[in-house]
Copies of this chain bind each other. A is one copy, B any other.
């Protein structure tokens, strides 16, 4: 069996995009255009990994009519569907885009309540999937009913199976997940501040490592990525600020880091790939897609600098 990259999205979503001339609170709007795509961070990561040529499997939960639509939309896209069926309905997210400015208003449903039996079924499936995995990414928020230590539990199982594990979440699940010693944590600036209490990214990435993550890559929006690992400390940034829709840029960075990890690339190359994929996602016209030509063009121009490791 070819070993695959596994991504976990416990709170998958059916992402709807509505285009309106301009959103006005307390008014009625005719939506001119409706787009539906399978969503949730780990699904986005898997789509980018598949586009990079990696065999990829997605797991997590899907249920109800929205879950069925999500699976139908996912089927032709590349990643293999190993989602665990649940009784509750997969959440929808609605992105309302003002056509004039491109500004987006986001409405996110909370997601289905996961029962203890459904969580047990997931754990059993996850254990089987780990046996065929080269790496695993744990991505996004937890649906109602799943305990805050869920990612910590999934990290311990991955480590026990010898599978490198990346964590991309926030709040208490991030705090408890980091303490379970993942190979890589990828917080954004806000998540990193919430975890460490520090607004200084350099200080905060070191603190996050002390809390248990083997390596930490912080995404700093247009400033690119700051990486702290046993092998060193780097900052990677695109040559110019990309103009466009930042939806999914962080997920593309995760895909870049994870593919670089399984390909055993040196850190500077992993980071350059992650930054180029992230910028190519901002530049793509459809939210959460990446522009493959832009990626190839951007990659050689990514500036990766070594920083002093003293924090």
Query: Which A residues form the contact surface with B (CB < 8 A)?
Result: 16, 18, 20, 23-32, 34, 65-66, 68-69, 92, 94, 96, 98, 103-110
Contact = CB atoms under 8 A, between A and B. Distances in A.
Q: How many copies does the complex hold?
A: 2
A113 B92 CA distance: 23
Given A29-B108, A31-B110, 18 more contacts: A16-B92, A18-B94, A20-B107, A23-B26, A24-B105, A25-B25, A26-B98, A27-B106, A28-B106, A28-B108, A29-B105, A31-B107, A31-B108, A32-B110, A65-B66, A65-B68, A94-B94, A94-B107
A26 B69 contact: no
B69 A31 contact: no
A104 to B, nearest CB: 7
A192 to B, nearest CB: 18
A218 to B, nearest CB: 20
A103 B69 CA distance: 31
A105 B26 contact: yes
Nearest to A23: B25
Given A65-B68, A65-B69, A103 B31 contact: no
Contacts of A18: 94, 107, 109
Contacts of A92: 16
Contacts of A66: 65
A96 B20 CA distance: 15
Nearest to A108: B30
B109 A34 contact: yes
A103 B25 contact: yes
A252 B110 CA distance: 32
A66 B89 CA distance: 13
A163 to B, nearest CB: 32
Going nearest first, the 4 A-B pairs with the smallest beta carbon separation are A28-B106, A26-B103, A65-B65, A23-B25
6 contacts: A23-B26, A26-B98, A26-B105, A65-B65, A65-B68, A94-B107
A201 B68 CA distance: 49
A59 to B, nearest CB: 22
A68 B68 CA distance: 12
Contacts of A68: 65
Contacts of A109: 18, 31, 34
Contacts of A98: 25-26
Nearest to A96: B107
A106 B25 contact: no
Contacts of A96: 107
B107 A26 contact: no
A103 B26 CA distance: 6
A34 B90 CA distance: 12
B106 A29 contact: yes
A105 B34 CA distance: 17
